[in-house]
Structure 1
Amino acid sequence: MELRQLRYFVAVAEREHISEAAENLHVAQSAVSRQIANLEEELGIELFERVGRNVKLTPIGKTFLEYTIAALQAIDFAKKQVDEYLNPEKGTIKIGFPSSLASFLLPTVISAFKKEHPNVSFHLRQGSYRYLINAIKQRELNLAFLGPVPAKDDAINTKILFTENIAALVPASHQLATKEEIQLADLRNEGFVLFPDGYILNKVVVEACKSVGFTPKISSEGEDMDALKGLVAAGIGVTLLPESAFYDSTPRRTKKLALVEPPFTRNVGVIYPVNRELAPSEKIFLNFVSQFFTRLSQFK
Structure 2
Amino acid sequence: MDTEALRWFEMVADGATVTEVAELEMRSQPGISRALDRLEAEVGAELFQRSGRLLTLTPAGAAFHRHVSAALHRLDDGIAAVQQLVSPETGTISVSFQTSLGTWLVPDLIGSFRAQHPGVQFDLRSKADEHVTAVGARSVVDLELSTLQVVAEGVVWRPLVREPIRLLLPQGHRLAGRRSAAIVDVADDAFVTLRHSSLLRTHLDRLCQQAGVKATVALIADDLPTLRGYVASGLGVAIIPARWDAGAIEPSSPRVHYLELTDPEAERIVGLSWNEGRRRLPAAELFREHVLRRARTGRLPRPVPIP
Name the TM-score class by shorter chain.
Answer: 0.7 to 0.9
* 8 Å contact kept, 2:166–2:242: yes
AA in 2 matched with 1:282: A
Deviation, structure 1 residue 143: 1.2
Aligned position for 2:82: 82
Q: Hey, what's the Cα distance between the residues in 2 that align with 1:203 and 1:257?
A: 20
Deviation, structure 1 residue 152: 2.7
Gap runs ≥5 in structure 1: 9-26, 39-67
Aligned position for 1:115: 115
* 8 Å contact kept, 2:165–2:242: yes
For residues 74-113 of structure 1, the C-alpha deviation after alignment (integer angstroms, 9 at most, x for no partner) is x887655422120000121111122111111111111111
SS at match of 1:177: coil
Structure 1 residues 105 and 243, CA gap change in structure 2 (3 angstroms): same
Tell whether 2:32 aligns with 1:33: no
Higher helix share: 1
Aligned position for 2:168: 169
Structure 1 residues 273 and 37, CA gap change in structure 2 (3 angstroms): closer
Tell whether 2:122 aligns with 1:98: no
Tell whether 2:269 aligns with 1:267: yes
For residues 234-289 of structure 1, the C-alpha deviation after alignment (integer angstroms, 9 at most, x for no partner) is 00001101114785353220000001143511011121112122111000000001
Moved more, 190-199 or 219-228: 190-199
Q: Hey, what's the Cα distance between the residues in 2 that align with 1:299 and 1:267?
A: 14
Q: Hey, what's the Cα distance between the residues in 2 that align with 1:97 and 1:254?
A: 27
Tell whether 2:226 aligns with 1:227: yes
SS at match of 1:151: coil
Q: Hey, what's the Cα distance between the residues in 2 that align with 1:37 and 1:113?
A: 38
Aligned position for 2:208: 209
AA in 2 matched with 1:276: R
Deviation, structure 1 residue 211: 0.9
Q: Hey, what's the Cα distance between the residues in 2 that align with 1:86 and 1:240?
A: 47
AA in 1 matched with 2:62: V
Structure 1 residues 279 and 201, CA gap change in structure 2 (3 angstroms): same
SS at match of 1:214: coil
Structure 1 residues 263 and 97, CA gap change in structure 2 (3 angstroms): closer
* 8 Å contact kept, 1:162–1:293: yes
Q: Hey, what's the Cα distance between the residues in 2 that align with 1:218 and 1:131?
A: 20
Aligned position for 1:283: 285
SS at match of 2:175: helix
* 8 Å contact kept, 1:165–1:264: yes
RMSD of aligned residue pairs (Cα, Å): 3.2
Q: Hey, what's the Cα distance between the residues in 2 that align with 1:144 and 1:299?
A: 18
Aligned position for 2:127: 127
AA in 1 matched with 2:253: P
SS at match of 1:162: strand
Q: Hey, what's the Cα distance between the residues in 2 that align with 1:125 and 1:151?
A: 18
Deviation, structure 1 residue 177: 0.2
Structure 1 residues 139 and 32, CA gap change in structure 2 (3 angstroms): farther
Aligned position for 2:297: 295
Aligned position for 2:238: 239
Structure 1 residues 281 and 183, CA gap change in structure 2 (3 angstroms): same
AA in 1 matched with 2:96: G
Q: Hey, what's the Cα distance between the residues in 1 that align with 2:105 and 2:64?
A: 49
* 8 Å contact kept, 2:207–2:263: no
Structure 1 residues 79 and 206, CA gap change in structure 2 (3 angstroms): farther
Q: Hey, what's the Cα distance between the residues in 1 that align with 2:188 and 2:278?
A: 49
